[in-house]
Structure 1
Amino acid sequence: MPSDLTRRPLALAAALATGLLFSPSWAPAAAQERVVNVYNWTDYIDPAVLEKFTAETGIRVRYDTFDSLETLEAKLSAGRSGYDVIAPTNEPTFSRLIAAGALMPLDKAKIPSAAGLDPTLMQRLRSSDPDNRHGVIYLWGTIGLGLNVERIRALAPNAPLDSWDLLFKPEHARAIARCGITIMDSQTDVIPSVLRYLGLNQDSTGSDDLRRVEQTLLGIRPHVRSFASGGALEQLATGETCLALTYSGDVIQASARAVEANRGVAVRYVAPKEGAQLWFDVLAIPRDAPNADNAHAFINFVLKPENIAAITNEVRYPNAVPASKPMIDQAITSDPNVYPREEDFERFFTVSGVPQTADRARNRTWARFKAGR
């Protein structure tokens, strides 16, 4: 999600060497050159898809990356960012940009590939974009737990591995603390999951509900080793931590890296039975995009089944184009942690933006949690 991600391994240097990818600030375009300026999460694309886009359309891709939603929002809020395509997460950034009038309504006639998007997932996105006017789903995932099962079982043999209890019950967190607990440094992503765990509405802004969240978090604070501003991928992959609250794709990538390293670390992802937050990274066009037609062409190209399949194969995050699945590695499509089963979606929830006053209250709660008081 999302939010601050240190996402997937990618040989970006090789792509840079092709001359197709470079920062918009590096050099001005020639007057006759057709370009599209893309601003995406770090390590979140297949460079071959970008090369293919340029080869087929003649439109040169200028590609910049960000590693936090705060960075993206700062660029867009200043205006005249120079970007044509951005990839915000649905909450809070995508919905805030819509409310601020910073995004252009998409011309769906210029994006015929959008007709292939999963209507159920697009319906879920309506909690952030009521009419699906301002963005289309790029990649998506859930927020849950990354586990080193062997090490957890050695320390807490009776702890439930399919429940938020594993983290939020102090007795389990205390037992597991010796092998490391990591939590993403994002109140936006964590607090809704705690609310849901407590049987409350994930969008609650009530002071009593927030107090219960704070009590729950402070109860495990002594056992949390670290907060990961960019997700917990490396900590899990190297065995530095054995339990992490983070993004599904980070855990899946950590598992793959651990296998490659062959150091005896085995990682798996769990979407807890009480519910897991479903998030979407969205392709959108800033209202002042200098090359709006090229932006529409880029989005349309990315959403073609063969192209979005290549991206999923590279980064191991699911996409929202069902026709792409036959072209995705079977090891990915058959993994329910990447492509959840239909019944799993009953446990997933999306969040809506909260008022500014409630967001400030959540930030204060988060600050007290991190400080341990």
Structure 2
Amino acid sequence: MKKQVLALAIAAVFLAACGKKEEPAPAPATPVAAAPAAPAAPAGPMLDDEKTLNIYNWPDYIPEGMIAAFEQEFGIKVNYNTFENNEALHAKLVAGNSGYDIVIPTAGFAKKQIDGGLYQPIDKSKIANYGNLDPDFMAKIAGVDPENKHLVPWAWGFTTVGINKQKVEKALGGMPMPENAWDLVFKPEYSSKLRSCGIAYLDSPSEILPVALHYVGKPAYSEDPADFKLAGEMLAKVRKDVRLFSSTMIDDIASGKACAFVGWSGDINIAADRVKEMGGKDEIVPLLPTGGGLVFIDTMAIPKDAKHVLNAHAFIDFYLRGSNGALMANEMNYPTGNKAALADIKDEIKGNATIFLSPEDTARLIPTGGFSNEIASTLNDTYNAFKRGK
């Protein structure tokens, strides 16, 4: 909302009467009282002269109509583009002159971007709704962004195994489901059976390697090349059973390209909704692995070379309204770190144990973390060798 300044002109009117010389002059009239000053209109956020904002986000990751509502309220034209994974975003930032004012990195991946000076600090004084954020939630982000200087939460969830229940049960035959859901995609005993209906992996080294490392008993964010070798050997054993490396997981699940998938919890729930909307009977569910799902927290950040910094702060403040946080959870199936949103989140969303996790399931999750620049080449080489089947 553009800043408005209201001014009230005040005039004092005096009456002067001229009588005959011998008559006493009448007393001067009482001055007209000045009208009380009108209250100033609430000051909106400061905006850049150029009414433009460039946002770079993940696909299918914003409620319908939210951008249009922001544009209408603030008179800012939003150019909204998407990227497929953290690696694509990182390449854009490292190249410089990205052209974006807000990007949405995963907190763990953003660690090396912060260390590399690719983001500018957030000016919290320009974000009136910053206080809506849950301090305990912000403390988790502070592990990769000390003092929460650069990152503001967008949404969070966990990377896990999802399944089409009917197809998986048919493919397994009489074989019972494993206690640890990661066995379905990491253990040949199971993956070989699911090969017939398809296994899909997210096409992202920073999503697959942490869960693979954890599965083989190593730290999810290890910095030891020997640990990556062990994870790579495990992945190589199931490579022949992986049908698809997906950058469009929602569409791939909903269209039946796979029956088991390593994906984001929210995307799996969105795909489940789409199947129902299309009249499908199969049940799509994200599982809660006893072996641990990988927590991710996606965040808003302002690139160092952003051209519309004031507009970026205005959008962040807009997004942090409680009503918008609730809209994100209700429409996109992702929980929020916005405590002001909780009252407006639908009961069926709050009651979904794969969106708002129980304390027991939360305790099983692999905490958010990140890899250093030093181990990045090992991370990518291990993943690429797995993907190529070599």
Q: Sort the TM-score into its range (normalised by shorter chain).
A: 0.7 to 0.9
Unaligned residue ranges in structure 1 (runs of 5+):
1-30
SS of 1:300's equivalent in the other structure is helix
Other-structure match for 2:114: 98
CA distance in 2, matches of 1:165, 1:71: 29
Q: Does 1:143 align with 2:159?
A: yes
- CA separation in 2, counterparts of 1:359 and 1:351? 17
Check if 1:234 corresponds to 2:254.
no
The answer to whether the 8 Å contact 1:105/1:133 transfers is yes
Deviation at 1:267, TM superposition (A): 0.5
Which residue of structure 2 aligns with residue 207 of structure 1?
A: 225
1:155 counterpart letter in structure 2: A
1:175 aligns to what SS in structure 2?
helix
Instruction: Supply the AA of the counterpart residue of 2:74.
Output: T
Q: Which residue of 2 aligns with 1:132?
A: 148
**Aligned-pair distance for 1:353?**
3.0
Counterpart secondary structure, 2:237:
helix
Q: Which moved more, 1:304-313 or 1:276-285?
A: 304-313
Q: Is the 8 A contact 1:312 1:318 kept in 2?
A: yes
For 2:387, give the aligned amino acid: K
Residue 297 of structure 2 aligns to a residue whose secondary structure is strand
Picking from 239, 256, 260, the partner of 1:221 is 239
String of CA shifts for 1:175-201, please: whole Å, max 9, x gaps: 222111111122211111112122221
Tell me which stretches of 4 or more aligned residues in structure 1 moved more than 4 Å: none
Say which SS state the counterpart of residue 349 (structure 1) adopts. Answer: coil
Q: 2:94 aligns with which of 77, 96, 101?
A: 77
For the structure 1 residues 187 and 74, does the alpha-carbon distance in structure 2 shift closer, same or farther, using more than 3 Å as the test? closer
Residue 294 of structure 1 aligns with an amino acid whose one-letter code is N
Give the structure 1 partner of residue 43 of structure 2: none
Q: CA deviation at 1:357?
A: 4.2
Any conservation in 2 of the 1:202–1:351 contact (CA below 8 Å)?
no
Which protein shows a greater Rg? 2
Q: 1:282 Cα shift?
A: 0.7
| Equivalent-residue separation in structure 2 for 1:113 and 1:160 (angstroms) | 45
Q: What secondary structure does 2:157 align onto?
A: strand
Q: Which amino acid aligns with 1:125?
A: I
Partner of 1:259: 276
Aligned-pair Cα RMSD in Å: 2.1
Cα 1:100/1:52, change in 2 over 3 Å: same
Q: 2-side partners of 1:101 and 1:299: how far apart?
A: 20
CA positional deviation for 1:269: 0.3
1:147-205 per-residue CA deviation (whole Å, 9 max, x = no partner) reads 11122222323132653122222111112221111111222111111121222211212
Residues in 2 aligned to 1:368 and 1:60: alpha-carbon distance in whole angstroms: 43
Partner residue in 1 for 2:336: 319
Distance 1:162 1:231, change over 3 A: farther
Alpha-carbon spacing, 1:238–1:80, altered in 2? closer, same or farther (3 Å): closer
Q: 1:32 to 1:300 in 2, by over 3 A?
A: closer
Deviates more, 1:248-257 or 1:159-168: 159-168
Structure 2: stretches of 5+ with no match in the other structure: 1-47
> 2:339 is matched by which residue type in structure 1?
P
Query: 2:105 aligned with 1:66, yes or no?
Result: no
Q: 8 Å contact 1:145–1:270 — kept in the other structure?
A: yes
- Report the number of matched residues: 341
Separation of aligned partners in 1, 2:69 and 2:164 = 39
Q: Percent identity?
A: 34
Structure 1's 50 and 370: CA in aligned 2 closer, same or farther, altered over 3 A?
Answer: closer
Matched, 1:120 2:132: no
Is the 1:221–1:370 Cα contact (8 Å) retained in structure 2? yes
- Between structures 1 and 2, the one with greater helix share: 1
> What is the distance in 2 between the residues matched to 1:240 and 1:59?
40
AA matched with 1:179? C
Counterpart amino acid of residue 40 in structure 1: N
> Is the deviation greater in 235-244 or in 35-44?
35-44
Task: Give the match for residue 11 of structure 2.
Answer: none
| Aligned counterparts of 1:161 and 1:305: Cα–Cα separation in 2 | 38
Contact 1:231 1:250 survives alignment (8 Å): no
